[in-house]
Amino acid sequence: MIGNGAVVLSEGAPSLEPLAAATGVFAYLWLLIALPLLGAAVLLVGGRRTNRWGPYLGVLTVSLAAVFAIVLVVSLLGLPADDRAVGQTLFEWVFVGGFTVPAALQLDQLSMVFVLLITIVGALIHVYSLGYMEDDPDRRKFFGFLNLFIAAMLLLVLADNYLLLYVGWEGVGLASYLLIGFWQFKPSAAAAAKKAFIMNRVGDVGLSLAIMLIFITFGTVTFDSVFAAAGEANESTLTWIGLLLLLAACGKSAQFPLQAWLLDAMEGPTPVSALIHAATMVTAGVYLIVRSNPIYDGTAFALTTVVIIGIITMFLGAIIGSAKDDIKKSLAGSTMSQIGYMVMAAGLGPIGYVFAIFHLLTHGVFKANLFLGAGSVIHGMHGEQEMRRYGALRSVMVITWITFMCGYLAIIGIPPFSGFFSKDDIIHAAFEQNIIIGICGVLAAGITGFYMTRMVIMTFFGKPRWPDDAHPHESKPVMTIPLIILGIGSVVTGAALLYWGNIESWLEPVTGIEEKPLAIPTIVLEGITLLIVLIGVSIAIARYRREVPVLAPKGNLLTVAARNSLYDDAINEALVVKPTYVLSDGSIFVDERIIDGTVEGSARLVGGLGARLRRLQSGFARSYALLMVGGAVMVLVILYLARLP
Partner 1 sequence: MTSTDPSAAEAVVFWVCAFLSVVGGIGLILSRRAVHSALWVALTMISLAVLYIANAAPFLGMVQIIVYTGAVMMLFLFVLMVVGVDSSDSLVETLRGQRVAGILLAVGFGLLLAIGLGSALNGVPVVGLDGANGEYGGNVEGLARLLFSEYVLAFEIVAGLLVVAALGALVLAHRERWQPRRTQREISQERTRGGIHPAPLPPPGVYARHNAVDTPALLPDGSVADISVPGPLRARGDLRPVDTAAVAETAALTSGEATYGPAKRPVADDPGTSPGEPS
Partner 2 sequence: MSVDNYIILACVLFTLGAIGVLVRRNAIVVFMSVELMLNATNLAFVAFARMNGNLDGQVIAFFVMVVAAAEVVVGLAIIVTVYRSRRSASIDEPNLLKY
Q: How far is it, in rounded angstroms, from Cα 476 to Cα 380? A: 10
DSSP characters over 166-211: HHHHHHHHHHHHHHHTTTTTSHHHHHHHHHHHHHHHHHHHHHHHHH
Shortest Cβ 609–partner 1 spacing (Å): 22
Task: Mention every residue, 6+ apart, whose C-beta is less than 8 A from residue 200.
Answer: 173, 176, 177, 251, 252, 261
The reply on whether position 618 binds partner 2 by CB under 8 A is yes
Q: How far is it, in rounded angstroms, from Cα 445 to Cα 440? A: 9
Angle CA 112–291–338, to nearest 5? 85
Sole binder of partner 1 in the list 521, 523, 640, 641 (CB under 8 A): 640
Sole binder of partner 2 in the list 617, 634, 635, 638 (CB under 8 A): 617
Shortest Cβ 579–partner 2 spacing (Å): 52
Kindly report the backbone phi and psi dihedral angles of residue 183, in degrees, each rounded to the nearest multiple of 5, phi listed first: -95, 65
Give, in order, the Cα–Cα distances in Å from 358 to each of 364, 420, 504, 620, 634.
10, 11, 9, 99, 97
Q: 86-96 and 99-107 as β-strands: parallel, antiparallel, unpaired? A: antiparallel
Q: With CB under 8 A as the contact rule, which of the stretches 19-27, 36-44, 433-441, 619-627 interacts with partner 2?
A: 619-627
Binding-site string for partner 2 from residue 356 to residue 395, where x marks contact by CB under 8 A and - marks none: ----------------------------------------
Query: From the list partner 1, partner 2, none, which binds 630 (C-beta under 5 to 8 Å, kind-based)?
Result: partner 1
In the complex with partner 1, the residue whose CB is nearer, 96 or 639, is 639
In the complex with partner 1, the residue whose CB is nearer, 188 or 623, is 623
Query: From the list partner 1, partner 2, none, which binds 621 (C-beta under 5 to 8 Å, kind-based)?
Result: partner 2
The reply on whether position 637 binds partner 1 by CB under 8 A is yes
Sole binder of partner 2 in the list 1, 45, 557, 621 (CB under 8 A): 621
Binding-site string for partner 1 from residue 180 to residue 209, where x marks contact by CB under 8 A and - marks none: ------------------------------
Q: Any idea what DSSP says for residue 413?
A: T
In the complex with partner 1, the residue whose CB is nearer, 557 or 642, is 642
Kindly report the backbone phi and psi dihedral angles of residue 465, in degrees, each rounded to the nearest multiple of 5, phi listed first: -120, 10
134 three-state secondary structure: coil
Number of residues lying near partner 1 (CB under 8 A): 13
Q: Is 460 in contact with 392 (CB distance < 8 Å)?
A: yes
Shortest Cβ 611–partner 2 spacing (Å): 9
The reply on whether position 638 binds partner 1 by CB under 8 A is no
Query: From the list partner 1, partner 2, none, which binds 619 (C-beta under 5 to 8 Å, kind-based)?
Result: partner 2
In the complex with partner 1, the residue whose CB is nearer, 500 or 620, is 620
Shortest Cβ 617–partner 1 spacing (Å): 14
Query: From the list partner 1, partner 2, none, which binds 633 (C-beta under 5 to 8 Å, kind-based)?
Result: partner 1
Sole binder of partner 2 in the list 516, 620, 639, 643 (CB under 8 A): 620
Shortest Cβ 586–partner 1 spacing (Å): 53
In the complex with partner 2, the residue whose CB is nearer, 557 or 613, is 613
- 288 C-beta neighbours (distance < 10 Å), count: 24
Task: Mention every residue, 6+ apart, whose C-beta is less than 8 A from residue 73.
Answer: 112, 115, 116
Shortest Cβ 622–partner 2 spacing (Å): 6
> Which strands form 20-21's sheet, in the order they lie side by side?
20-21, 86-96, 99-107
Give, in order, the Cα–Cα distances in Å from 551 to each of 383, 465, 528, 560.
18, 11, 36, 14
Residue 230's nearest CA partner among 181, 291, 274, 282 is 291
Sole binder of partner 2 in the list 554, 622, 640, 641 (CB under 8 A): 622
Number of residues lying near partner 2 (CB under 8 A): 10
In the complex with partner 2, the residue whose CB is nearer, 614 or 643, is 614
The reply on whether position 48 binds partner 2 by CB under 8 A is no
Q: Is 400 in contact with 460 (CB distance < 8 Å)?
A: no
The reply on whether position 575 binds partner 1 by CB under 8 A is no
Q: How far is it, in rounded angstroms, from Cα 198 to Cα 277? A: 16
Shortest Cβ 614–partner 1 spacing (Å): 17
Binding-site string for partner 1 from residue 607 to residue 636, where x marks contact by CB under 8 A and - marks none: -----------x-x-xx--x--xx-xx--x
CB-based contacts of 316-321 (< 8 A; 24+ apart in sequence): 316/256, 316/259, 316/340, 316/566, 317/259, 318/444, 318/447, 318/448, 318/451, 319/447, 319/558, 319/562, 319/566, 320/263, 320/562, 320/565, 320/566, 321/451
Residues that bind partner 2 (CB under 8 A): 614, 617-622, 625-626, 629
Residues that bind partner 1 (CB under 8 A): 618, 620, 622-623, 626, 629-630, 632-633, 636-637, 639-640
